[in-house]
Structure 1
């Protein structure tokens, strides 16, 4: 059946399409930040702890949202029809009390219960983010509400006043649709409006490209090119073909692309800090700089370098949770060189170099990457 929808496009600058929350007859923008997190859900203890006593005055809807773990008659589900593995946080606004909970990891073409039980809150809010393996976040941050989240799994009762270890993030109000079985559901989708099958295939294509295999275009359409790239990926990792149907296949792929590769450029973060990196390519006519890619401690990442550039450049810098540069002996902890190229603090793709400052850009020193052997791994370590 054809779906009529009113689109509110929030197309972001960069490499990927915007994202919406889809409902029956309605779509809204979804906003997120680009921070690392975990994929399991924290289940609060059932006994009366100090936190429980603090929450006693809260409205029943908020308290239930924070602590419910029993089977329920109606649930709120988030369904991912994007080509990215995402992590979501939910906010509940009820009777002047606001609580948040996250992170819920959701693979393409899957759904996850994020609130259990009947939901009677005044407002339901959503923050979503793509995993760091995708580089610059494809999810814009222009939500209407600023609420508190944490780096790892969290439950925050007073989510409008951030405390130590918490950070602000933009949330957008959503209006889920009630299904025939009484549950509430909201779909996260891209401009492409994939169905479940297409979203799953597009998600596989995207990770194959990141891993260095030619599976483009990322369109959710199967064909010999995608199958050849997938077969080569499975062979290189010693994986059987039936693992593609496994519910853990996306976790397997993400683990694989976060390890060094014999082809292309790989960044590996051997520091205890988050590293933000930028890559630049010279095709003989134009030098294009692009960033930022987040590399979590102990992880590797392959920036998406297309074609066969004549030269590749790299810059990386360690940052704290507030994205401020880490300094060692009063010097920023970064890895670059003498090639001055243009960047900006937010995500960017710049095709014209030179006169960076006069155009409101920042010039940073990139290092030249030797790719003569076909593959290069740059390891970022403490001095």
Structure 2
């Protein structure tokens, strides 16, 4: 089973203070990721969940309208698949049911077919002057709205193959140069940057084939989890998992100038279990053995995988001599 939600060093917090719940509930995103959020409403003996609500960096969204009489409000957040393994840690104390696509689950403590358990975090939103109850999703960087938006743009520029690092929410010539190159390549006017749909435009670009770097494209009806390996001549590093939704493309974040790149991908079901087609695993790999594990990983020692609790996995070498390579995963 491949775990789509993994925990990096960065943290997420829900910034809020205690207030009675009696108005619309609004969530505001001060992270550098476009996220999808599910909410849990715990009311006496019944607990219901609902999702997904997509929220761009520096944007807010009402996720529950009307008078809220819930005993507790809980949240679960995930980043879009374009960011690879979810950079949003899931460390809540409540385990409730979610579904892969938009859902409403009335009895969310007992998962049924097509539903999976997920950790939810309790929040106590703040009442604002306009009558809303607001909770903020925040990173350890503690961005304000302006910084979160710029950091979100920087992050997607880097994924799309433009040099906008470091991702820090601080503007400068490097970020502006990368943004200008992105706009020129895509034939976009500078004014589009201020559009409410700019993050959707950037994500469409990231999920399209690129003439530079490695691109994975999923031409199957299944979700695909992928891993990448890089060899800089000294160390071979394997890293995964990246989620690629059906009909989408993704650029794994490969830094530096590796001498060789390797790829492995496999189709999974709604519970991230490897799929088979005609009794054979539905995957795309090769003969180069690199180490992987079930959840998010980054491994820089490829020796003796099995005895170290890792899985030896066959990767294929990718010919990057032309400067860019698109691997399309299709049904046999």
**TM-score band w.r.t. shorter chain:** over 0.9
CA contact (8 A) 2:7 2:90 kept: no
Aligned to 1:23: 16
Query: Offset of 1:141 from its aligned partner?
Result: 2.4
Secondary structure in 2 matching 1:182: coil
Return the match for 2:294 from 328, 345, 350.
345
Q: Which runs of 4+ in 1 moved over 3 A?
A: none
Count of equivalent residues? 325
Q: Whole-Å Cα distance in 2 between the matches of residues 13 and 342 of structure 1?
A: 19
Query: Is residue 124 of structure 2 the alignment partner of residue 140 of structure 1?
Result: no
The Cα shift of 1:13 comes to: 5.1
Match of 1:382 in 2: 331
Decide whether the 8 Å contact of 1:13 with 1:348 is kept in 2: no
Counterpart-to-counterpart distance in 2, 1:251 and 1:214: 20
- Return 5+ residue gaps in structure 2 as ranges: 1-5
1:120 aligns with 2:113: no
Partner SS, residue 235 of structure 1: helix
Q: What TM-score do the two structures reach when normalised by structure 2?
A: 0.95
Which of residues 268, 279, 282 is equivalent to 1:333? 282
CA deviations 1:88-118 (Å, max 9, x no partner) are 0110011111111111100000100111122
Which residue among 194, 200, 203 is the counterpart of 2:152? 203
How far apart are residue 376 of structure 1 and its match? 0.2
Q: How far off its partner does 1:334 sit?
A: 0.7
Deviations 1:104-146 (A, max 9, x none): 1000001001111222211111011000010010112222122
C-alpha distance in 2 between matches for 1:244 and 1:142: 34
**Greater RCO structure (CA 8 Å; 6+ sep):** 2
Does residue 1:269 correspond to 2:262, yes or no?
Answer: no
Residues 281-320 of structure 1 mapped to structure 2, 5 A cutoff: 281-320=230-269
1:95 matched to 2:39? The reply is no
Structure 1 length-normalised TM? 0.83
Aligned to 2:173: 224
SS in 1 for 2:174: helix
Query: Corresponding residue for 1:77?
Result: 26
Matches within 5 A, 1:154-303: 154-303=103-252
Corresponding residue for residue 59 of structure 1: none
Supply the distance in 1 between the matched residues of 2:328 and 2:285 (Cα, whole angstroms): 12
Structure 1: runs of 5 or more not aligned: 1-11, 26-64, 66-72
Question: Would you say the 8 A contact 1:260–1:300 is kept in 2?
Answer: yes
Match for residue 35 of structure 1?
none
1-structure distance, mates of 2:130, 2:193: 30
Range 124-133 or range 167-176, more displaced: 167-176
After superposition, the C-alpha distances for 1:196-219 in whole angstroms (9 at most, x for unaligned) are 000000000000000000000000
Q: CA deviation at 1:152?
A: 1.5
Q: Note if contact 1:277-1:315 (Cα within 8 Å) is conserved in structure 2.
A: yes
- Any idea what the Cα deviations from partners look like across 1:147-194, whole Å, max 9, x if unmatched? 122222111211112223322222111111122333211100000000
Give the Cα–Cα distance (whole angstroms) in 2 for the partners of residues 108 and 224 of structure 1.
22
Aligned-pair distance for 1:285?
A: 0.9
**In the alignment, what sits opposite 1:46?**
none
The one of 352, 356, 360 aligned to 2:309: 360
CA distance in 2, matches of 1:182, 1:258: 38
Q: Is the 8 A contact 1:75 1:183 kept in 2?
A: yes
2:235 and 2:99 mapped to 1: Cα distance? Answer: 40
**Residues of 2 paired with 1:113 and 1:87: CA distance?**
13
